[in-house]
Amino acid sequence: MTRPTVLVIAPMPAFPTSAGNRRRLVATCDALARGGFAVDLAYFAHEDQIYRRFGQHPPTDAAAMAGAFQRTFRIEPRAAIPLKTRARHFGLDDWCPDEVVEFVAWYGATYPKTRIVLVNYVFLSRCLAAVPPGTLTLIDTHDRFADRQAQYRPFRAEPNFFYTDTRSEAEGLDRADIVLAIQAEEARYFESLTRARVHLLPPHFPSRRPFRAPGRLARIGFLGHGNDPNLFSIGRFIEVWSADWTPDRPTLVVAGEICTGLGATPRPGVERAGYVACLEDFYDRVDLVVAPMLMGSGLKMKVAEALCFGLPVVGTRIGFEGFSPVARAHRCETVAEVKAMLLEMSGDAHGLAALTEVCADLFAGYNEVTRSAETSLLALLREHVGADLAGESQASPDIREEPVRTTILPGGRLTRVTGLVSSERDSPEHGLLVATARNPPPGSGPYAPERRRWFARAGTDMGSAGDGGVIDAEIVLSPEWVRGRTLPPALRATLAREIVGAVPDWEARASLVGGGSGHITLALALPSHLVTGRHPGAAFLLGPETVTEVTLGTATPLSLTQALPFVSRTRTDLAPVPASLTLDGADVPADDCVLLVLHDDLIGRVALPLGPRA
């Protein structure tokens, strides 16, 4: 029996579900599946780009997504998603580039029987203009974004996520037929803004374990993603918790990606558990979960998740928004109040039992609301597809797999693996991930999720030479090049010669303007961010016979009336700035050479003519 299809578009992957917005995405898709719908998931690779810009492997599991949904697609951004704006707020469509709109138009022409499109976040609402007539459109809001920056003022900070004004948010919501709100307070707010139908849909969290009351508190836990609200909130709580901590008090266990942003300085009474692959393992280790949130909107998934694992939770009023809390332990105003509440009940078995009972009732009431909301939404969707239920879903496309190919190099090997990425991390079999193709392999569909990846392994006995490992595509780098530097220098230099043949993101032509012992100075056009601030980077000077890894030194803007040669090939947002650039670790080359400039998410190739043609 075939099922009607819903196209879901999201700027985050569904798996691994390591962040609240991913949990919301999966919960919504699960609800659609329970209602008899098939889901096509299109991932606009916004988050992958952001992770790479900060020198991290993107935690994206394309293989898991392909296994969970009818079809999966990947939309590659062609320009950098702006994380800051000089205006008072972002424009409504600043985070929805043409490629998302182009995908929706392509999808509508390719799969015309799909009658429902759901977009995650109001900032992607622009793409709804491309859906075919008669298609039901939904926006899952996740959060309120109008004036979101005001939450940051008490912290003397500015957000690095989207925010806009009320007029723009209303305009975006009006583009949909149905607007989904994650909690009741935001549903009322959206109803005051938009002509669209607003539907409350809190995410359903099925109970995974019965509630259990601890006799005392030995370990309290916080599991979170490294976003600003989590970092600010748990950072403040850590300061308060550790200030006068003594060994007879509970230990705070902080886990998840947030540990990366908390720094390495030890704090009394605080344990950093790092990334958690298995949620059960974390919740088995703690007696109670703390939600000391001081900012943020939407619904705090960490609270719902802890409750579904049967753990009592103590937190702030903001942490429990959307749960209709009544207990004092769920309506604290400050992190100091949260701390006092925890210390008060630390050894109080009766008080902990009472709190656990309150949490069980809270969770039961919450899930009753979610079941009712889900039922009514699914009825709306079925009413729209009506008699066309049969014959809409189609078979998933074949995933293109290629043979593993290896190139033997001096000091190691380079291996190319093609297929769905189960993780963007290193391979025990093939070595360190050094690059990933931006686009699908030849012969795949235009938005296919599979990718070619290249791995390097150092060694002297690497078997017989092969071919096909050479990088000749449009690629993005792994953190090894700029942040990690764990491969031997000789192998890095050899790999640089392979990478220089890849499609560069930008190209320039330099002139030698000075040099001395162990350094040279060039005049050239550079992307503005390499001139205006310090940016992690790696660079290699490649001559006919040699490769030298050099250090990017001082870059100084030049006042020139004539523009210097510069071409941006893969990115539309790179602004060239004339500059002088010092390279440390190299003498003046004798022949023409190429400067390969690598930064977290970009490759630059600079021609340096020094021979008779100079």
Per residue in 100-136, pLDDT (tens digit) is 999 999 999 999 999 999 999 999 999 999 999 999 9
Q: Give yes or no for residue 562 having a pLDDT over 80.
A: no
User: Given strand 593-599, what is the order of strands in its sheet?
Assistant: 511-516, 519-527, 576-584, 547-557, 537-542, 593-599, 602-608, 506-509, 566-568
The C-alpha atoms of residue 388 and residue 197 are separated, in whole angstroms, by 23
Q: How far is CA 207 from the centre of its chain?
A: 27
Out of 180-194, 225-239, 403-417, give the one with best mean pLDDT: 180-194
Instruction: Tell me: do 120 and 159 sit in the same domain.
Output: yes
pLDDT digits (tens, 9 = 90+) for 429-476: 899 999 999 999 998 999 999 999 999 999 876 655 566 567 778 999
Q: Name the residue among 608, 590, 587, 606 with its Cα closest to residue 598.
A: 606
Q: Report which of residues 392 and 477 the model is more confident about.
A: 477
The Cα 247–Cα 259 span in angstroms is 22
Local confidence band at 611 (pLDDT 50, 70, 90 cut-offs): low
* pLDDT band for position 295 (cuts 50, 70, 90): confident
Tell me if the bond preceding 440 is cis, omega within 30° of 0: no
Total number of domains constituting the chain: 4
pLDDT bracket for residue 389 (50, 70, 90): low
What's the pLDDT at 151?
77
Domain of residue 185, CATH code: 3.40.50.2000
CB 535 within 8 A of CB 599: yes
Average pLDDT value for residue range 481-495: 91
Least confident among 261-265, 340-344, 405-409, 604-608: 261-265
Q: Over the stretch 133-161, which tens digit does the pLDDT of each residue have?
A: 999 999 999 999 998 887 777 777 777 78
Does residue 57 have a pLDDT over 80? yes
φ, ψ dihedrals at 301, nearest 5°: -60, -30
| Same domain for 241 and 195 | no
Is residue 494 in some structural domain?
no
Q: Is 8 left (phi over 0), alpha (psi -120 to 50) or beta?
A: beta
On whether both 351 and 250 belong to a single domain, the answer is yes
CA 29/CA 33 separation, integer angstroms? 6
Q: Are both 60 and 192 inside the same structural domain?
A: yes
Residue at which a domain ends, from 172, 201, 230: 201
Considering the domain boundaries, does residue 230 fall inside one? yes
Is the same domain home to 66 and 165? Answer: yes
Is residue 513 assigned to a domain?
Answer: yes
393 lies in some domain: no
Q: Which residues contact 447 (CB under 8 A, 6 or more apart)?
A: 42, 73, 74, 75, 103, 106, 440
* Angle separating helix axes 228-243 and 335-345, nearest 10 degrees: 50
Domain end, chosen from 297, 326, 357, is at 357
Average pLDDT over residues 592-613: 87
Give the pair of three-digit tokens for residue 181.
């709100």
Structural domain includes residue 370 = no
Check whether residue 313 and residue 457 sit in a common domain: no
Hey, which residues does 138 pair with through a beta bridge?
Answer: 118, 178
Does a structural domain hold residue 56? Answer: yes
pLDDT at position 391 is 46
Q: Rounded distance, CA 38 to CA 41, Å?
A: 10
- Over range 85-92, report the average pLDDT: 92
For the chain, percent of residues with pLDDT exceeding 70: 95
In the predicted structure, residue 168 carries a pLDDT above the cut 90: yes
The residue segments making up the domain with residue 596 are: 506-608
Of the candidates 418, 397, 394, 395, the one whose C-alpha atom is nearest the C-alpha of residue 406 is 418
Last residue within a domain, chosen from 322, 357, 392: 357
Q: Is residue 418 in a domain?
A: yes
Same structural domain, 312 and 230: yes
Residue 586's alpha-carbon distances to 368, 517, 541, 583, in angstroms, are 68, 8, 8, 7
Predicted local confidence at residue 613, as pLDDT: 44
Residue 312 near residue 355 (C-beta atoms within 8 A): yes
Q: Which range, 226-240, 269-283, 333-347, is most confident?
A: 333-347
Residues 419 and 564 occupy one common structural domain: no
pLDDT of 432 reads 93
CA distances from residue 129 to 33, 98, 105, 273, 423 in whole angstroms, order as listed: 26, 12, 9, 45, 34
Does a structural domain hold residue 383?
no
Between vectors from CA 61 to CA 59 and to CA 63, what angle results, nearest 5°?
Answer: 165
* Together in a domain, 26 and 118: yes
Is residue 249 scored above 50 in pLDDT? yes
CA distances from 364 to 205, 211, 359, 578, 581 (A): 10, 11, 9, 63, 63
**pLDDT mean across residues, the chain:** 91
- pLDDT tens per residue, range 414-426: 999 999 987 767 8
Sign of CA dihedral 147, 149, 152, 153: negative
Q: Is 127 found in the same domain as 28?
A: yes
Please report, for the domain that includes residue 545, its CATH number: 2.60.40
Mean pLDDT of 187-204: 96
Burial group, residue 185, by CB count within 10 angstroms (0-12, 13-18, 19+): middle
Q: How far is CA 559 from CA 524, 580, 607, in A?
A: 12, 10, 21
Same domain, 22 and 82: yes
| The pLDDT value given to residue 400 | 65
Q: Which of 570, 562, 540, 568 is nearest to 552 (CA)?
A: 540
Q: How far apart are CA 576 and CA 417, in angstroms?
A: 35
Distance CA 478, CA 472 (A): 16
Task: Find the DSSP H helices in 244-330.
Answer: 258-261, 279-285, 301-308
